[in-house]
Amino acid sequence: MTGANHGIGAATAVALARRGCAVLCTYLRLDDPVDPGAPPGYRDHRARDASQVMAELQSAGAGRRAVAVEADLSDPGTPARLFDVAEERLGPVDILVNNATGWLADTFAPPVADRLGRPLQRVTAATWEQQFKVDTMAAALLISEFARRHVARGAGWGRIIGLTSGDGLGFPEEVSYGAAKAAQTNYTMSAALELAPWGVTANMVHPPVTDTGWVTDQVRDYVAGRPDLFHVATPEDVADVITYLASDTARLITANTITLR
């Protein structure tokens, strides 16, 4: 489970543990710049370690079947190291959830602020690299490492689940984020087709606006005024869908993007 120190990642780790899964939580503490468009506490969420989610995993009964590893997914050597730790401490990996994101807001238009008051920056090599290393490269390498080890041990059951955002018209004001997620979606769909003979399903989940600490009253008003947005979800709402896709019941669901509203 990547990006597991807060939000959807933490909620999903706990939900999977409650269903009997051993869980390896990866995370990276981030020191975000002050963002006038987000509540002050959101920076604290992204800067926290995994102690809170580990306590929740303990209370969920995971006990010694949960491990937390701080890891920088922009390092191409990280995926193999994470699988090594998982196999050494917990056993072979059957479920991979690509949740972590290198999110930032960048634009091709003049960079002032977006519709929610968050500061924008122009697309540069640095903004591209920040997004694509985590949301695309890391996801692809984690899928590749999962597949290599899954096939080598002759496994016949597996789940790959990623999280995405944006749509076919791109993601205005978050253009690199949207493009990186589109690439991750493409990798995941390819995995669904290529790994089906080994019992692996692969899907993407497109959450609605989800309150992981960044939702303000302005965001709630924005959602209420949009005819195509129905809910401000909790991380637990999204975790319920991810854990369903990770179950035997979802064995016929693969190569899909599940859009939640």
Catalytic center residues: 177
* Burial degree of 112 (CB within 10 A; 0-12, 13-18, 19+): exposed
- Give one DSSP letter per residue of the chain, joined into a string: --STTSHHHHHHHHHHHHTT--EEEEE----PPP-TTS-HHHHHHHH--SHHHHHHHHHTT-GGGEEEEE--TTSTTHHHHHHHHHHHHT----EEEE-------EESS--SB-TTS-B-EE--HHHHHHHHIIIIIIHHHHHHHHHHHHHHTT---EEEEEE---BTTB-TT-HHHHHHHHHHHHHHHHHHHHHGGGTEEEEEEE--EE-SS---HHHHHHHHT-TT---EE-HHHHHHHHHHHTSGGGTT--S-EEE--
